[in-house]
Structure 1
Amino acid sequence: MSLLKPLNVLLAAAALFITVQLYQRLTLHLARRKIIREHGCKPPPRLPYKDRLFGLDLMRLNFSLAKEHKLMESFYKRFQDVGNTMAAQLFTTPTLSTIEPENIKTVLSLKFKDYGIVSRQISIGPLLGEGIFTTDGEQWAHSRQLIRPNFTRDQVADIGAFEKHVQDLFKAIPRDGSTVDLQELFFRLTIDSATEFLFGHSVDSLKMTSDKGGPDEKNFTWAFNYAQDKCATKFRMGSFLTKYFYRDETDSQAIKICHNFVDRFVEDAVQYREKHGAQDLEKKGGGDEPYVFLHHLAQSTTDRLRLRSELLNVLLAGRDTTASLLSNLFFQLAQRPDLWSKLQSSVAHLDGRPPTYDELRNLKFVKYCLNESLRLHPVVPGNSRTALTDTVLPLGGGPDGRSPVFVPKGTIVGYNVYSMHRRSDFYGADALEFKPERWETLRPGWEYLPFNGGPRICLGQQYALTEAGYVVVRMLQEFGALESRAAEDGGDGRWRESLTLTMCSYGGTKVVVREK
């Protein structure tokens, strides 16, 4: 008799739990059915794969394609075969992939608050901390407010700081007819300029040899490259697999080196502010001192962890996007002597001197070439958001793909910029060709998205375009011609993707430069 009462209590509790669960599921089902009915939603086509429960075969295929440097190419073919919006299941998470500008506009702008980036904290949070690229809501808004003043026109227009790094680049390029990988040098160039802009101290990787460059700078350059490469690996693995199965002690060591390196400059700036006050921090080093991002950031906060996180977030974006853009563009220019000659003619009026900011902005054909490179080979070829609530996309459902699509809470919505930029209905029958001249009349909207859009549009896009444009002009002025060596070592000379957090050329940008 004494055992019956506890047993009855347990049975009653179990029954209550089941009842509550059934009620919640029924309520959710009815609420979702109402949304679907009111908006006229229809399901999108699904990717054809065998494992409909977990999508493990699709995940294996994607990893295999990434190793073969064909992932973006395969996505483009999938959209052609299946449709502009398609559904899949990856492990326990429903996903939607789209190349419809209206859908992307909805996710990034019109229904911005319906989506978030919650999954990023697991993949890139260990390196970047809680900063502008890893947070949502009020914390993200505060990060953006903190960073925005550092990308005003005055800071972007100060291009004189680039010149000394360009000179280091020139010294690193052989002029004896031997092959050089410009991509490797561009990544060194941009980490040199970015660390000087951010910390007030360049790692000077372009100058590094066995007898030059301090151990801290060398370690940081290696560690930052390694850690961000592993960020891409974790991002592709997904949150669940990364959280429970990813182990890499070298990655942990690299992250620690990055943090320790940045912390030195953060500590210096914070201590100076605490001793002299926020207003004096801007004057640190004298009136002719170049602009330093950290010094201005530290006028707003002395939270050391916050400062480190924001610095690393901006470094990741600023360094890789510009280097990838330059690498992809020069890969094309090395194979197109006609474009190289046309570009040289467009800058001839400068008589070899570095351009001013206003002159740079008025070099239309340089701008066309940068735009076309970002179209054909966008440096961030794909991105995603997670639905924070049940919501709706305007297109993609039904046999014709023109009906709205219901997006349940927790769904990952991926948008593939690489494939969207190749749509012939937007860019013509020659959309797969590198043709800068198309930008003479092209005025795209959301179908062109090299720097994201909506409230999260890249704050540093003008900085990146200015630096890239400046390097292009100075290279045109310094060298008479480029000759592609992309077919060396048995290659076929075609551009192939190297996909980490950004996209550049797998085989590098191998060229021979000719003197004027």
Structure 2
Amino acid sequence: MSPAIFLAGLCVGVFILQWISQLISRRQQAKTWGCKPAHRAPGTIGIAPFYRLTKAFREKRWIELIADEYARYGTTHKQALLGKDYITTIEPDNVKAILATQFNDFCLGVRHAQFYPLLGDGVFTLDGAGWTHARGLLRPQFSREQVADLSMLNDHISHLVNLVPQDRSVFDVQQLFFMLTLDSATHFLFGESVGCMLPPSQTSGVLQNSAVGNAKGFAHSFELAQGCIRDRVIAQNLYWFINPQGFKDANRKVHEVIDHYVHIALESKRKADSTDGRYIFLRALAAETDDPKLLRDSMLNILLAGRDTTASLLSSTFFYLARHQKVWTRLRGEILKEFGDDTQAEITHASLKNIRYLRYVLNEALRLQPPVPVNFRVATQDTSLPVGGGEDGQSPIFVKKGQQVYYSVFAMHRRTDLWGEDASIFRPERWEENAKHGWEYLPFNGGPRICLGQQYALNEASYTVVRLMQHFDTLENADPHPRTEPIKLSNLTMSHELGVPIRLYSTKQAL
């Protein structure tokens, strides 16, 4: 036997011994923790599940497919996908463990590399000390009173109202909501809106002279980049295959605009420029650091959340309101009782909280169409989850280091044992009956990574609904497809593939 063959055989033997030793050690640890096997979906390699998933993705029904598999294989089960074993769960106790009580046992996996070309190093992409620093930098800004200040939304709502057809014709309100939230988010973050609801001739600032060309160009680049990020996420460890020139160009254009505002903020800091008492998120953040890349990455991470989450919530709300006239009528009645139909009347965070039914409607839209429907974590060490093992599914299950664990908020929000037999039905009144929910309701995530901008999103969505109901008394569903559920399109947040076509008008207006 040649030395080379002997050495190769020795290496293989050592590898096998290490593998056996690790297997025995993990079995002993699982026994110590009281773990039992989770139910397994059919298949050992996972070619068929991968085919079903990719087919469902092309057909815009992958979120529903995942939900159906919980009904078929159990609320916690294992599944093979292209040779790798995944755990997937919609048990609130398990989700709580992943996101909170066993937070340090899990990480984001390769998300940083997948998201980095657009979002860089921020709260959505980092783990460990980097994440702690990024979040610590942002948290104080979201605890300020300015987050509850709704006055800056007035002009943006007026622009939105002006874009609603005056002739009662059909339009896609989702498109307007994504424009609204981009304008309002950039106004709040940078002190200057990108103005994508305005004609190009009225656009100010960097967008007049930048390579982006205009505000809608910035929005398009931002959308295109997110679409590529979504594809990189689906590709998992093969994310680096997805790096087309269009993706690079979109990232460059988005960064150009953000860098412009970062430069202004840093120059203002050096010159101690006055901002006339206006609160500008970026300038407040610049007071804490001079690092332009850190500021850019932080702004992009917050812009993504502040814009897309709120637009998703508003779009889903109007999708359901257009199909439930009794809810529209009741909600509008309560809004007019509180604020009247004077669109100049002051609206505050405190007064919005007085309209409980408004919060019930938003809660129900978030329950049925959570902005982030599916998520996952990767185990940083051998660990366990509280339930899902054994015949009754009540025993802990073992999670080995490096194993991915998926959880579907979308499917968990529709469990009939948690929400009743009508769990798939839009019924805001359920929140009057039982307004308190724990880990079974997670539209904004939970634990240390809970969404920093949760209150900002709810404030903006509430304010927008109130102002639109003051302006318009009639909402009609104009969808040519008879459906009670939207066809979902998910970039990094949930949206509606076919839009939300409606008619919105006031019967007091003459045609």
* Fold match (TM-score > 0.5): yes
Counterpart among 16, 28, 50 of residue 34 in structure 1: 28
Moved more, 350-359 or 293-302: 350-359
* 1:251 aligns to 2:247 (yes or no): yes
| Structure-2 change in CA distance of 1:80 and 1:123 (3 Å) | same
The aligned counterpart of 1:260 is: 256
1:147-189 residue CA offsets vs partner (Å, 9 max, x unmatched): 0011114022111011111111001111211111100000000
Task: Tell me how far apart the structure 2 counterparts of residues 43 and 66 of structure 1 sit (CA, whole Å).
Answer: 29
- Structure 1: how far apart are the matches of 2:282 and 2:505? 40
Distance in 1, Cα, partners of 2:5 & 2:199: 72
Aligned to 1:380: 372
The answer on 1:272 being equivalent to 2:268 is yes
Q: Which residue of 2 aligns with 1:89?
A: 80
Query: Is the counterpart of residue 411 in structure 1 residue 411 in structure 2?
Result: no
Deviation at 1:12, TM superposition (A): 6.5
Question: Shift of residue 491 of structure 1?
Answer: 5.5
Equivalent residue for 1:217, pick from 201, 215, 218? 215
Which amino acid letter does the alignment assign opposite residue 29 of structure 2?
A: I
Q: Deviations over 1:426-468 (max 9, x none)?
A: 1111111100011013211100000000110111100000000
Contact 1:47 1:86 in 2 (8 A): yes
Describe the shift of the 1:65–1:469 C-alpha distance in structure 2 as closer, same or farther (beyond 3 A): same
Whole-angstrom CA distance in 1 between matches of 2:51 and 2:117: 25
- Structure 2 residue 162 is the aligned partner of structure 1 residue 167: no
Equivalent in 130, 136, 139 of residue 127 of structure 2? 136
Taking the aligned partners of 1:209 and 1:329, their CA distance within structure 2 comes to: 30
RMSD: 1.9
- Where does residue 107 of structure 1 map in the other structure? 98
Write the distance in 1 (CA, Å) between the matches of 2:230 and 2:19. 36
Deviations 1:456-514 (A, max 9, x none): 01111000000000001111111011001112xx5546422122211122211111112
Q: Residue 465 of structure 1 corresponds to which residue in structure 2?
A: 458
Aligned-partner Cα distance in 1 for 2:446–2:425: 25
Q: Which residue of 1 aligns with 2:470?
A: 477
Residues 485, 493 of structure 1: 8 Å contact kept: no
| In the alignment, structure 1 residue 453 sits paired with structure 2 residue 450 | no
Q: Which one-letter code corresponds to 2:222 in the other structure?
A: F
Map 1:352-501; keep pairs closer than 5 Å: 352=342, 353-442=345-434, 443-487=436-480, 492=483, 494-501=485-492
Could you say what secondary structure the match of 2:152 adopts? helix
SS at match of 2:28: helix
1:352-379: per-residue Cα shift (whole Å, max 9, x none)?
Answer: 3242121012210000000000001111
Whichever residue aligns with residue 270 of structure 1, its letter is: L
Inter-partner Cα distance in structure 2 for 1:93 and 1:142: 33
Other structure's SS at 2:386 match: strand
2:335 alignment partner, one of 332, 347, 371: 347
1:198–1:294 Cα contact (<8 Å) kept: yes
More divergent stretch after superposition (382-391 vs 217-226): 217-226
Distance 1:78 1:434 in 2: 22
Q: How many residues align?
A: 495
With the length of structure 2 as denominator, give the TM-score of the two structures: 0.93
> SS of the counterpart of 2:125?
coil
SS, match of residue 258 in structure 1: helix
How far did residue 266 of structure 1 move?
1.2
The whole-number CA distance in structure 1 between the counterparts of 2:156 and 2:268 is 28
Q: What is the alpha-carbon distance in structure 2 between the residues aligned to residue 40 and residue 326 of structure 1? A: 45
Q: CA deviation at 1:33?
A: 1.2
Amino acid at match of 1:261: V
Matches of 1:257 and 1:44, distance apart in 2: 47
- Residues 94 and 410 in structure 1, CA contact (< 8 A), matched pair in contact too: no
Aligned to 1:301: 289
Partner amino acid for 2:400?
Answer: P
What's the offset of the Cα at 1:400?
2.0
Judged with a 3 Å threshold, the aligned counterparts in structure 2 of structure 1 residues 288 and 270 are, in CA distance, closer, same or farther, namely closer
State which drifts further: 66-75 or 204-213.
204-213
- Name the residue aligned to 2:308: 320
1:139 Cα deviation after fit? 0.6
Residue 335 of structure 1 corresponds to: 323
TM-score normalised by the chain length of structure 1:
0.92
Three-state SS of the structure 1 residue aligned to 2:40 is coil
Mapped contact 1:486–1:494 kept (Cα < 8 A): no
TM superposition shift of 1:128: 0.3
> Structure 1 residue 22: deviation in Å?
3.8
8 A contact 2:232–2:242 mirrored in 1? yes
Distance 1:313 1:356 in 2: 27
Structure 2, unaligned stretches of length 5 or more? none
Note the C-alpha offset of 1:216: 4.7
The question of 1:75 aligning with 2:73 is answered no
Using the alignment, how far apart are the partners of 2:485 and 2:431 within structure 1? Answer: 23
Q: Contact 1:120 / 1:235 at 8 angstroms: preserved in 2? A: yes
Distance across 2 between alignment mates of 1:300 and 1:132: 16
Q: Indicate conservation of the 8 Å contact 1:486/1:493, yes or no.
A: no
CA drift at 1:223: 0.6
Q: Residues 492 and 84 of structure 1: is their aligned pair in 2 closer, same or farther, counting only changes over 3 Å? A: closer
For residues 486 and 475 of structure 1, the distance between their equivalents in structure 2, rounded to whole angstroms, comes to 20
- Check if 1:233 corresponds to 2:221: no
Task: State the shift of 1:11 in Å.
Answer: 6.0
Does the Cα contact within 8 Å between 2:228 and 2:242 map onto a contact in 1? Answer: no
Give the distance between the partners of 1:333 and 1:424, measured in 2 at CA.
23
Amino acid at match of 2:264: D
Question: What is the CA–CA distance in structure 1 between the aligned matches of 2:192 and 2:47, rounded to whole Å?
Answer: 46
Give 1:228 deviation, angstroms.
Answer: 0.7
Q: CA deviation at 1:123?
A: 2.0
Task: Give per-residue Cα distances to partners, 1:122-145, cap 9 Å, x unaligned.
Answer: 321211001110010011000110
Find the residue that maps to 1:322 and give its secondary structure: helix
Cα contact 2:231–2:242 (8 A) shared by 1: no
- Per-residue deviation at 1:14? 4.2
Matched, 1:286 2:278: no
- Indicate the SS of the match to 1:346: helix
Aligned equivalents of 2:374, 2:484: Cα separation in 1: 25
CA contact (8 A) 1:223 1:257 kept: yes
Q: What is the CA-CA distance between 1:94 and the residue it aligns to?
A: 2.3
Match of 2:40? 46
Q: Is the 8 A contact 1:337 1:481 kept in 2?
A: no
Q: Is the 8 A contact 1:93 1:412 kept in 2?
A: no
Compared CA separation, residues 107 and 494, structure 1 to 2 (3 A): closer
Alpha-carbon offset, residue 238 of structure 1: 1.2
Percent identical among aligned pairs is: 40
Tell whether the 8 Å contact from 1:41 to 1:404 is kept in structure 2 after alignment.
yes
Cα distance in 2 for partners of 1:491, 1:440 equals 29
Structure 1 residue 13, shift from structure 2 partner: 4.9
